[in-house]
Amino acid sequence: MAMCMGPAGIITERRHASCRLPGVLLAGLILGTGPSVFGQDSLRTELSGYAEVYFGYDLGGPVDNERPDFLYNHKRHNEVAINLAYIKARLHQGRVRANVALMAGTYAQYNLAAEPGALQHVMEANVGVKLGGGEEWWVDAGIMPSHIGFESAAGDDCWSLTRSLWAENTPYYEVGARLAYKPSERAAFSVLYLNGWQRIQRQAGNSAPAFGTQLDLTTASGARFNWSTFIGRDTPDSVGLWRFYNNVYTIFDGDTTGLTLGFDLGLQQRKGGGLDGWFGPVVLVRQRLAEASWAVGRVEFFNDEAMVIMGTDRPVMSASLGWDRQVAAGIRFRVEGRWIGNERTIFTDGDGDAARDNWAFTTALCARF
Q: Shortest CA distance to 94 belongs to which of 129, 45, 125?
A: 129
Q: How far apart are CA 73 and CA 53, in angstroms?
A: 12
Identify the three-state secondary structure at position 298.
strand
Write the DSSP symbol of residue 204. T
Other C-beta atoms within 10 Å of 331: how many? 14
Rg (CA), the chain: 21
Q: How does strand 357-368 pair with strand 44-58? A: antiparallel
Write the DSSP symbol of residue 221. T
Q: What is the pLDDT of residues 95-149, one digit of tens each?
A: 999 999 999 999 999 999 999 988 999 999 999 999 976 779 999 999 999 999 9
Q: How far apart are CA 98 and CA 321, in angstroms?
A: 38
Instruction: Please report, for the chain, how many H helices and E strands are present, in that order.
Output: 4, 18
Q: How far apart are CA 96 and CA 79, in angstroms?
A: 43
pLDDT, residue 38, reads 55
CATH numeric code, 23-33+42-368: 2.40.160.10
pLDDT, residue 366, reads 98
Other C-beta atoms within 10 Å of 315: how many? 17
Q: What is the pLDDT along the chain (369 residues), one digit of tens a residue?
A: 444 444 333 443 443 333 344 443 444 443 444 444 555 578 999 999 999 999 999 999 999 999 999 999 999 999 999 999 999 999 999 899 999 999 999 999 999 999 998 899 999 999 999 997 677 999 999 999 999 999 999 999 999 999 999 999 999 999 999 999 999 999 999 999 999 999 999 999 999 999 999 999 999 999 999 999 999 999 999 999 999 999 999 999 999 999 999 999 999 999 989 999 999 999 999 999 999 999 999 999 999 999 999 999 999 999 999 999 999 999 999 999 999 999 999 998 888 899 999 999 999 999 999
From residue 159, give the alpha-carbon distance in Å to each of 156, 162, 296, 301. 8, 9, 7, 18
Sequence-ordered list of residues with C-beta below 8 angstroms from that of 358, at least 6 positions apart, any chain: 58, 59, 60, 68, 339, 340, 341, 347
Q: How far apart are CA 339 and CA 356, in angstroms?
A: 11
Domain ranges of the chain: 23-33+42-368
